[in-house]
Structure formats: structure tokens, C-alpha cells
Amino acid sequence: MKIKKEINYPYDFFCFKDGVKINEETINEWIEECLNKVINDKEDSSSMASGDTEVTVEKDDENEITITVTHGRYEFTFNKKDIVK
């Protein structure tokens, strides 16, 4: 499966590194919120993002939980209709 346009990192991506700086206290609050959703609400994953930071908590099939915190994240978005089968 491919998309119609070739994706070229970092040129096609929006970079959040110059976004609002998120402090450690807020990041820890986000981690706690995401963990609660994964553990208590039985979600497979939960994430929060703002400014230059994104927090993602994911649970795999063996119930291992991974917490990822990124600063200066890059993001590329495309529409499903752009996928070539």
C-alpha cells in the first residue's frame, strides 16, 4: 500500500519544536491522565498533545505499557483517499 505523494521527512512534516513549551508538571499530569485511561478505562492507547509536546501511553497484547514523551515533534497528515492500493 502506498500513498499518491512520496512522503519526505522532514520537508513534508509540520514541526512543533517552536510551539509553546510545556512544563514538566503539565507533562506529568498528562502521563497520569493517559495512564488512567489505559488502565482504568481499559483503552489500548491514550495521548495528549499541545505546543511542542506529545504524551502517548500504549498497552500491547501482553499488557506491557509504554509511555512516550516527545518534544519538538514532527507530524504529517494525509487523507485515506490518497492511499493507492
Phi, psi of 28 (to 5 degrees): -65, -35
What is the per-residue pLDDT for 1?
63
Q: Which residue has the higher pLDDT, 82 or 20?
A: 20
R_g of the chain computed on alpha carbons? 16
85 confidence band (pLDDT: 50, 70, 90): low
What separation in angstroms does the CA of 53 have from each of 17, 39, 46, 68, 70?
A: 8, 22, 14, 10, 5
* Alpha helices by DSSP H, the chain: 24-39
For the stretch 30-74, pLDDT in tens is 999 999 999 998 889 999 999 999 999 999 888 899 999 998 888
- What distance in Å separates the CA atoms of residue 61 and residue 65, rounded to the nearest whole number? 10
